[in-house]
Amino acid sequence: MPEGKPTDTRRHRAITDRNLLIGFFVVLLSAGGALIFWFYGGAAGVLGVSCLLGFAAIAGLVMLVMTGLERISEWLDKRD
Does any domain span residue 32? yes
Does any domain span residue 3? no
Higher pLDDT, 48 or 6: 48
R_g (Cα) of the chain, nearest Å: 19
* Residue 2 in this model has a pLDDT that exceeds 70: no
* Residue 5 in this model has a pLDDT that exceeds 90: no
Does any domain span residue 67? yes
* Residues, the chain: 80
Q: Which domain holds residue 73?
A: 27-79
SS3 8: coil
Q: How many domains does the chain have?
A: 1
Quote the pLDDT of residue 21.
Answer: 84
Does any domain span residue 2? no
